[in-house]
Chains A and B, each alone.
Chain A
Amino acid sequence: MSFNNLDTLYRQVIMDHYKHPRNRGKLEEDALVVDMNNPTCGDRIQLQIQVEDGKVKDAKFEGEGCSISMSSASMMTQAIKGKSIEDALRMSQLFSDMMLGKEIDPGNLEMGDVEALQGVAKFPARIKCATLAWKAMEQGVEKN
């Protein structure tokens, strides 16, 4: 296999989230619903977030897309659950910085599996795939 570069992008944990997405589905209770797509490639996501007392109580997603966009949605929903809106938005900013190849300092924020997407920064054509779910989350909480 001479796809060495590719391993930096498609880490095992990413493919695991792609194959076994966390929080895929629909929320039963009232939730903020955001539909977003990437018009250049056709990826689409519907994100549902339930906010209670300024915190993300639950989050689920549905959609179609590549391994990067879908695994990112899976990781994002996992990461923001239980976080305050402010922290969720801070994480989104950290994620954007990470996509620009910047060194990030999450401080007390638990980014979890999300950091596995670091390698995407080296594949500029794929950054939009990775940020789709985060942009949807930002739009959702802004609507709130």
Chain B
Amino acid sequence: MDARSIREQFPILHQEVNGHPLVYLDSSATSHKPIKVLEAVDAYYRNDNSNVHRGVHTLGTRATDKYEGAREKVQQFINARSTKEVIFTRGTTTAINTVAHSYARANLEPGDEVIITPMEHHSNIIPWQQAVKATGATLKYFELNEDGTLNMEDVKKSIGPQTKIVALTHVSNVLGTINPIKEIVELAHRQNAVVLVDGAQGAPHVKVDVQDIDCDFYCFSGHKMCGPTGIGVLYGKQELLENMEPVEFGGEMIDFVHLYDSTWKELPWKFEGGTPIIAGAIGLGAAIDFLTEIGLDKIEAHDQKLTAYAMERMSEIEGLTIYGPSKNKRSAVVTFNIDGVHPHDTATALDTEGIAVRAGHHCAQPLMRWLDVTATARASMYVYNTEDDIDKLVSGLAKTKEFFGNVF
């Protein structure tokens, strides 16, 4: 894989920010889009724009073919058994909320437990808080080891007959931790609990095979994997989805509408009320083509190499703390702080050099408390980043440290 030639396919990267060539290290927040994706969305609107599953006319058929074609691409990308198991949503958040509203509320009772982890993004915490409040079930957390990996002893101890749902992230958006999902699914299934995986940071970086993992639900977003914003996927096992009630009602998802009652379309459409995110799905399909052409194994290797390089170079800076596990257990995220410099100040200083990093709590306030910090800075990488980007980050960080050291 040649990141330099890949960069050429991302027009946004070829600009100056504050007088410096852009160094984009915020792909965990959102990734950039290659020309292929931009053109797919543009071509849809220019040539095929029409509503799907409705009109008899030719444009309607073309739009439907493209939309459903994108669903097939997703199915193959995650190795789902059929397209019935692939529901298009607005993003990971909507996907998790669909399960927390529909499956959780129908299946939880007082005494039941939902278990999550302290490293979850808010979008995989709050839906469960609300679901247990509504049903009288209890929310629990697995423990973390000191290095920010899951404490598997605690996982084994905690999952019991009372456990109904285990929900956890595939890859932490702060620590970069890659969780042993397959092992956890096995433990949960022994107790007949279902497992939902938040794949927002997983799907872009790690090869996902839902049949191999055997998880019950897998949720991810298009925009973090070179696709457009506003499109995401809820994968669910067919037998579970069949028995779940839709959470959004309206056009597109109905079979028959009577005066006082209605019936739903078959899967996956019963969960897709209203005009769907047609252009988004088509863009996601193009993003999947783009990633598949490179190869997820190559992307993973590139991420690993670059992350190891970043961690090595960044630890040369005295007074810089890196959070999370060692380099061989993590994805392309390096979260850090410079002693005595608030991460917002770090991010502003880097921005004046054209370097984009995230600063704040990363939508993971419980994890910030676990780390005993109020905020951190984060550099996150993807297919288009190079060692040159890391070198610029490191020299920017050195300067930042010097600047704030001098003004104090």
Interface residues of A (CB under 8 A from B): 1-3, 5-6, 9-10, 12, 15, 19, 40-44, 64-68, 123, 125-126, 129
Assess the B374–A3 pair: CB atoms within 8 A.
Answer: no
Interface residues of B (CB under 8 A from A): 18, 342-345, 348-349, 351-353, 359-361, 365, 368, 374-375, 399, 402-404, 407-408
Chain B residues, Cβ within 8 Å of A15 = 404, 407-408
Closest Cβ of chain B: how far from A111's Cβ, in Å?
22
Query: With A and B bound together, what is the CA distance between A41 and B343 in angstroms?
Result: 10
Of the candidates B344, B345, B352, B399, which one forms a contact with A5 in the assembled complex, judged by CB atoms under 8 Å apart?
B352
Known A65-B342, A126-B344; judge A41-B361 contact (CB<8 A): yes
User: What are 12 A-B contacts with C-beta separation under 8 Å?
Assistant: A1-B402, A2-B399, A3-B349, A3-B399, A6-B403, A15-B408, A41-B344, A42-B365, A42-B375, A65-B342, A65-B374, A66-B342
Query: With A and B bound together, what is the CA distance between A68 and B361 in angstroms?
Result: 17
Assess the B359–A6 pair: CB atoms within 8 A.
Answer: no
Assess the B352–A129 pair: CB atoms within 8 A.
Answer: no
Chain B residues, Cβ within 8 Å of A129 = 344
Closest Cβ of chain A: how far from B348's Cβ, in Å?
6
Query: With A and B bound together, what is the CA distance between A44 and B369 in angstroms?
Result: 14
Which interface residue of B344, B349, B374 has the most chain A CB atoms within 10 A?
B344
Assess the B352–A3 pair: CB atoms within 8 A.
Answer: yes
New A-B pairs, 17, CB < 8 Å, besides A5-B352, A10-B345, A67-B342: A1-B399, A1-B402, A2-B399, A3-B352, A3-B399, A6-B348, A6-B349, A10-B403, A10-B407, A41-B360, A42-B360, A42-B368, A42-B374, A65-B344, A67-B345, A125-B351, A129-B344
Chain B residues, Cβ within 8 Å of A42 = 360-361, 365, 368, 374-375
Assess the B18–A41 pair: CB atoms within 8 A.
Answer: no
Chain B residues, Cβ within 8 Å of A12 = 407
